[in-house]
Every structure is written in C-alpha cells, then in structure tokens.
Structure 1
Amino acid sequence: MKIEQILNENLIDLDMKATTKDEAIRELTDRLYKEGKVCNDELFVKDVYLRESEGKTGIGGHIAIPHGKSDAVCVTSIAVGRTKNDLVWESFDDLPVHIVILFAVRNVDKTTVHVKLLSQVATALADDEMLKKLLTTQNKKEVIRLLSQQIQ
C-alpha cells in the first residue's frame, strides 16, 4: 500500500483552525469520518489517545504523526493538516507542531501495512527540502506528491 492510494485532497487541510493538540486530532478525525474512512469518530479519537499515552508522536521539525490502530477505522487512511498556530505537542525537539499527519489504521492492518506507511512517511520527512515545501505549499496535490516521494 502506498501513500497516494490512501491520501486524497479531501483528507488534507492546509489551513487548520486548531490551537491545541486535541483540536487538531479532532479536526483531522472529522475529515476521516466525513470521507467514510472512520466509522466511529469518538472511538477512534480514544484509540489515538491510547497510542499517545505510549510515547511521543511529535517527531521534530514541527511535525507530529499521531496514529490510531482501531476497530473504528473502516479503511486504512492518512489525514494531513497544517496550522499557523503553535501546537503544544510532546516532541523530541520540543518545538511546536505545525503539521499533523494522522494515521488511521484498521486493526487487521496494524502490523505490515502500518509499518510500511510509517516508513514511507519517515523517508519523505527525512529530506529537509521536502519538509520546507510541506510547511509552505498551498497545493494539496503537492502534499500528496511530497509524502509519496521515495528518496534515492
């Protein structure tokens, strides 16, 4: 499974209103719910927070990658949001978060598919130029392209 197969423009918000971690998670969950990717939004949010309690999902560079492995997920998907607001998030570099990449993973996909998707995103985020573009682009197709690229 590849990023471009599970991320579409309706799952991207480049102007989130969120001012808190909770608001960001809920805004992106709402997008997943409206697109039919999450069947039960409240259960999914609960499962995201269960994972949050296990360790930091703020990976540094103003990026957080929260994820919920949940029976509330109908279709494994990713939602991406960006906000100008500084979101306080447990992060390895203690910088505020501006981009949230929320993974919604069906329980049956929680091993191989989940690991492959995380690996693809981590590979893309390792490129500083890509990261700068992700923080500034106004084009949703560009976000998909950036997250889908494989560093050679």
Structure 2
Amino acid sequence: MKGVNVKLSDVLTENRILINIHGKDKYDVLEKMVHAVKTSEKVKDVENLLKKVLEREKIKSTGIGGGIGIPHAQTSGVTDIIACLGVSESGVEFNSLDGKPVHLIFLIATRERTNNTYLGLLSRIARLFIDESFKQKIIQSTSPEEIINLIREKEKE
C-alpha cells in the first residue's frame, strides 16, 4: 500500500464493513470496530490500536459533520494502512462538529510516520461522501458486498 493515492476500496474489505452497528456510546462502537479489524494480518496489537483510537477521540471528536465520523490512529499496532466501516441508519452520538449523529464511521489506522498516505485517504473519504445521495445509498445498503461495489463505482468517477 505504498504511495499517497490509496483508495478506500484498497484498504476496506467486506468482513470489515459492519452494517447496523450500534452501541451505548461512540466508544462502545469504536471498540466493536477495532475488534472487527483484528482478524487482519496487518493488526499486530489490537489493544494498542484500541488505546490509540480512543485517545485520539478524547482529544477531539472525529465526527466531521454531515453524518460522518473518521476515527483514526497512527500506531505501531498495525503494519500497514487498514480501514473498517461502521454503518448506522439510526445514527450514533459522536459529539460531531455539527452536533448531529453519525451514520458512517470510517476507522482508519496506519503505522506511525505515514502522514501522506493517511491524509490522502482521509481527504479521499471526505470527497467521496460529500455526495449526499451516494451517502444515503451506503446507509441504506443491505450487505457489505453492495457497499464495497458502490464505493468502487464511485471511486471510478
């Protein structure tokens, strides 16, 4: 996964797309998402990854507004960039910039000192999901396969 032009579909797999995710709070949801990525061979230390994600979230909410949250961490707990998507039709209270619940939660983790790749992926996610009708299609999808196909199509535009 070298380079700045990493696409979301390069780092997101069907088994790391969680439909109807919910929890008692955003930290509970984040814990579920971290545990979903631990099946990847790229995750060396799931406890370290969870700690880093939660620490980052406590500094400042990653709810960027528009129903999107992008919790992220740079950690020695992963060997390469990895992503997980949590979809919540009802929404998760995320202390977002716009005060609204989050429906799409993109968990991104990279190893330390990979700023360009990391920032490139964050901006790609923000650009993909600025399209409200696309966002709604993802939220209303019924399978991880459907979601990954929608993302691949959108990335070709």
| Aligned counterpart, 1:107 | 112
Instruction: State the SS of the aligned residue for 1:107.
Output: coil
Runs of 4+, deviation exceeding 4 Å: none
| Aligned counterpart, 2:126 | 122
TM-score (norm 2): 0.85
Q: Select 2:44's aligned residue among 39, 51, 59.
A: 39
Cα shift at 1:84: 4.2
Q: Select 1:144's aligned residue among 137, 143, 148.
A: 148
The AA in structure 1 aligned to 2:140 is T
The change in CA–CA distance for 1:54 and 1:151 in structure 2 (over 3 A counts) is farther
Q: Select 1:5's aligned residue among 7, 10, 27.
A: 10
- Give CA deviations for 1:66-125 in whole Å, capped at 9, x if unaligned: 00111111231110012345422120111112221100111142x111011111111111
Residue ranges of structure 2 left out of the alignment (5+ in a row)? 1-5
The AA in structure 1 aligned to 2:146 is E
| Aligned counterpart, 1:72 | 77
Instruction: State the SS of the aligned residue for 2:95.
Output: coil
The change in CA–CA distance for 1:151 and 1:6 in structure 2 (over 3 A counts) is closer
Mean Cα deviation higher: 80-89 or 129-138? 80-89
Instruction: State the SS of the aligned residue for 1:45.
Output: helix
The change in CA–CA distance for 1:118 and 1:147 in structure 2 (over 3 A counts) is farther
State how far apart, in whole Å, the 1-side matches of 2:22 and 2:93 are. 14
Contact map agreement 2:21 2:88 (CA 8 A) in 1: yes
Residue ranges of structure 1 left out of the alignment (5+ in a row)? none
Cα shift at 1:151: 8.0
Mean Cα deviation higher: 120-129 or 9-18? 9-18
2:60 counterpart of 1:55: yes
Percent identity of the aligned residues?
27
